Chains A and B, each alone.
Chain A
Amino acid sequence: MSNLTDITPLRWLMRNPIWGFVVIVFIFFSLMSDHFFDYRNFQNILVQTSTIGLIALGMTLVMINGNIDLSVGATLALAAAFAVDVQSWAMFATWGNWQILPAVSLALLVGIALGAFNGFIVWKTGVDAFIVTLGAMLGIRGLVFVYSGESSFYAMNFAYSDFSALSFGPFPVLAVIFLLCTLIVHLLLSRSVHGRNTYAVGGNREAAVNAGIRVGPHMMVNFMIIGFLAALSGVLLSTQMGAATPNLGRDYELWVITAVVLGGTKLTGGKGDIVGTLGGVLAIGILRNGMNLMQVPAFYVYVILGSILIAVLILDKRFNRTADGGLRL
Chain B
Amino acid sequence: MTELLEPALRLQGIVKTFPGVRALDGVDFEVMPGEVHALLGENGAGKSTLMKVLAGMYQPNEGQIIIAGQPVRMTTPIEAKAQGVVLIHQELSLVPEMSAAENIYLGELPRKGLGWVDWRTLYKNSNAILERLNCNFRGEATVVNLSIANQQMVEIARALTVDARVVVFDEPTASLTDAEKVVLFDIIKDLKARNVGIVYISHRMDEIFTLSDRITVLRDGSYRGTLTTAETNEDEVTRLMIGRSLDLSRDTAPPKLGATVLDVRDLSCAPLFEGISFSVRAGEVVGFYGLVGAGRTEIAETLFGLRTAERGEILVDGVPVQIGSPQDAISLGISLVPENRKEQGLVLSMNCRDNMTLPQVQKLTSGPFVSSGAENEIFDKYRDKLEIKTPSWRQVVGVLSGGNQQKIVIGKWLSMKPRVLIVDEPTRGIDVGSKAEIHTLLRELAAQGYAVIVISSEMPEVLRVSDRIVAMYSGRIMREFTADEVTEDSLVQAISGIKTADAA
On whether the beta carbons of B77 and A328 are closer than 8 Å, the reply is no
- Tell me which residues across on chain B come within 8 A of A211, comparing CB atoms: 77-78, 93, 106-108
- Tell me which residues across on chain B come within 8 A of A325, comparing CB atoms: 272, 298, 307
B contact patch SS:
loop
- Tell me which residues across on chain A come within 8 A of B107, comparing CB atoms: 197, 200, 208, 211-213
The total of Cβ contacts below 8 Å across the A-B interface reads 93
On whether the beta carbons of A327 and B306 are closer than 8 Å, the reply is yes
Determine whether A126 belongs to the interface, using a CB cutoff of 8 Å to chain B. Answer: no
Closest to A211 in B: B107
- Tell me which residues across on chain A come within 8 A of B144, comparing CB atoms: 323
Determine whether A151 belongs to the interface, using a CB cutoff of 8 Å to chain B. Answer: no
Report A87-129 residues with CB < 8 Å from chain B CB. none
Closest to B140 in A: A3
Q: Which of B18-26, B32-40, B113-121, B433-441 contacts A (4 or more CB under 8 A)?
A: B113-121
On whether the beta carbons of B306 and A210 are closer than 8 Å, the reply is no
Q: Which of A22-30, A186-194, A246-254, A296-304 contacts B (4 or more CB under 8 A)?
A: A186-194
Closest to B119 in A: A2
Determine whether A199 belongs to the interface, using a CB cutoff of 8 Å to chain B. Answer: yes
On whether the beta carbons of A199 and B77 are closer than 8 Å, the reply is no
Interface residues on A, range: 20 to 34
Cα separation A191 to B116 with both chains bound (whole Å): 6
Determine whether A204 belongs to the interface, using a CB cutoff of 8 Å to chain B. Answer: yes
Interface size, chain B (Cβ < 8 Å) = 39
On whether the beta carbons of B307 and A200 are closer than 8 Å, the reply is no
A325 vs chain B, min Cβ distance (A):
7
Cα separation A328 to B305 with both chains bound (whole Å): 8
A225 vs chain B, min Cβ distance (A):
13
Contact of A208 among B106, B117, B306 (CB under 8 A): B106
Using A208-B106, A323-B144 as known contacts, say yes or no to A271 and B76 having CB atoms under 8 A apart: no
Closest to B57 in A: A210
Closest to A270 in B: B97
Closest to B79 in A: A212
Determine whether B109 belongs to the interface, using a CB cutoff of 8 Å to chain A. Answer: yes
Report A181-229 residues with CB < 8 Å from chain B CB. 191-194, 196-197, 199-200, 203-204, 206-213
Determine whether B89 belongs to the interface, using a CB cutoff of 8 Å to chain A. Answer: yes
- Tell me which residues across on chain A come within 8 A of B96, comparing CB atoms: 203-204, 270, 323
Using A210-B77, A211-B93, A212-B107 as known contacts, say yes or no to A193 and B102 having CB atoms under 8 A apart: no
B146 vs chain A, min Cβ distance (A):
11
Using A191-B116, A194-B115, A327-B301 as known contacts, say yes or no to A200 and B99 having CB atoms under 8 A apart: no
- Tell me which residues across on chain B come within 8 A of A194, comparing CB atoms: 115
B193 vs chain A, min Cβ distance (A):
27
On whether the beta carbons of A193 and B109 are closer than 8 Å, the reply is yes
Determine whether A329 belongs to the interface, using a CB cutoff of 8 Å to chain B. Answer: yes
Contact of B95 among A2, A192, A193, A200 (CB under 8 A): A200
- Tell me which residues across on chain A come within 8 A of B111, comparing CB atoms: 193
On whether the beta carbons of B95 and A204 are closer than 8 Å, the reply is yes
On whether the beta carbons of A322 and B306 are closer than 8 Å, the reply is no
Determine whether A169 belongs to the interface, using a CB cutoff of 8 Å to chain B. Answer: no
- Tell me which residues across on chain B come within 8 A of A192, comparing CB atoms: 115-117
Closest to A204 in B: B95
Using A204-B94, A208-B95 as known contacts, say yes or no to A328 and B140 having CB atoms under 8 A apart: no
Cα separation A196 to B325 with both chains bound (whole Å): 40
- Tell me which residues across on chain A come within 8 A of B55, comparing CB atoms: 210
- Tell me which residues across on chain A come within 8 A of B99, comparing CB atoms: 1, 3
On whether the beta carbons of B140 and A207 are closer than 8 Å, the reply is no
Interface flags, B287-329, vs A, CB<8A=1, else 0 = 0000000000010010001111000000000000000010000
On whether the beta carbons of B108 and A212 are closer than 8 Å, the reply is yes
- Tell me which residues across on chain A come within 8 A of B419, comparing CB atoms: none
Determine whether A9 belongs to the interface, using a CB cutoff of 8 Å to chain B. Answer: no
Determine whether B145 belongs to the interface, using a CB cutoff of 8 Å to chain A. Answer: yes
- Tell me which residues across on chain A come within 8 A of B361, comparing CB atoms: none
On whether the beta carbons of A327 and B98 are closer than 8 Å, the reply is no
What are 8 A-B interface contacts by the 8 Å CB criterion?
A192-B116, A193-B109, A199-B97, A203-B95, A203-B96, A210-B89, A323-B96, A323-B144
CB within 8 Å of B: which residues of A?
1-3, 191-194, 196-197, 199-200, 203-204, 206-213, 270-271, 322-323, 325-329
Q: 4 more A-B contacts (CB under 8 A) besides A3-B140, A208-B106?
A: A192-B117, A210-B57, A211-B78, A270-B97
